Structure 1
């Protein structure tokens, strides 16, 4: 029962993390223009993985999609690939977790469900690591340009999407680790039960053999052990 509750907690953590990771991908504010050291304060520039926009003082936004994927900076292409991989891994991890959890009635035998559970745990861990890497690469580029004294273009600060992505990746990794630890605990309990069952079976068999030998021997009958020269 405790193992089942642990799996439910891990599933809730991983699903929450995957939802945050999925919402990070289309979120607008990956980076926001900084007002530090700039003269233009009436407009706000912001970008994500798909477009760059500017919002004026009246709240009207003008956006421009990135014209070419091949002409993009390498870090944006890497972040795109990692985020898409993170969403896909989390999606299949959720399916395998639903099939492999003990509280569900699908998935086949206990061994098959255990394998699906550990597979979903590894997928959620990879999903969280992919999202964490993408957000860290993007944040590293922003901070590098911000603190570079020779960079004279518009400087940006970390957007809300990066913090949402980091939070979701932590939840995915934590839930995946709980899945794997709950599986190892289940295996250890199963091994202990098998060992105790085998030991009781051997003890019962020995007791049965001793009882059978006692029944065949009549009370007060002489022992049938003979000396070496008994038939000489």
Structure 2
């Protein structure tokens, strides 16, 4: 089973109209829904997290902060929002300490992440070494791999990271086709995120509407 996490985001920001697509996703049976820590004020993010929870879905907050202090604030926000899973970020020791005892699962980025939207930099060997190191931390429950934000052989990268750790690997960023989903599944990924492609009607489906997009992604 490979989990599909629908991200209420575009260009690494939570969309202003997130409540509507969230309701559509819940009605379509999507049970993993996430958002980023930027794009909406905290009160709106709190309402969004509550909406996901009330709909019976697992909630995810993906951290895309670019410095230790803003990452700390994002982790603290995740705790305050009461999401189920924190994705992303790179400051593993600090984040794990902040999340200790919260019950939230934590899945940081492996590798060197730069820019916004985020890019994954470094060689395959460097990314795998980072994945091994971060996955070994006792406060880490899995990894959030920006595979298609890297250069080189992406399926090989996913497979190498999945082989390097027994913890689950989520593939995030720039997924917009059934071929990519097939590749990440074959490589051993536990799940994947799609946001922009579905919201913009770009995933191959019977139509560009969000229900059609979500059904096509789930089928893939």
TM-score category of the 2 structures, normalised to the smaller one: under 0.3
TM-score normalized by the length of structure 2 = 0.22
Q: Higher relative contact order by CA 8 Å / sep ≥ 6: 1 or 2? A: 1
Which has the higher Rg, Structure 1 or Structure 2?
1
TM-score normalized by the length of structure 1 = 0.21
Q: Normalized per residue, which structure has more strand?
A: 2
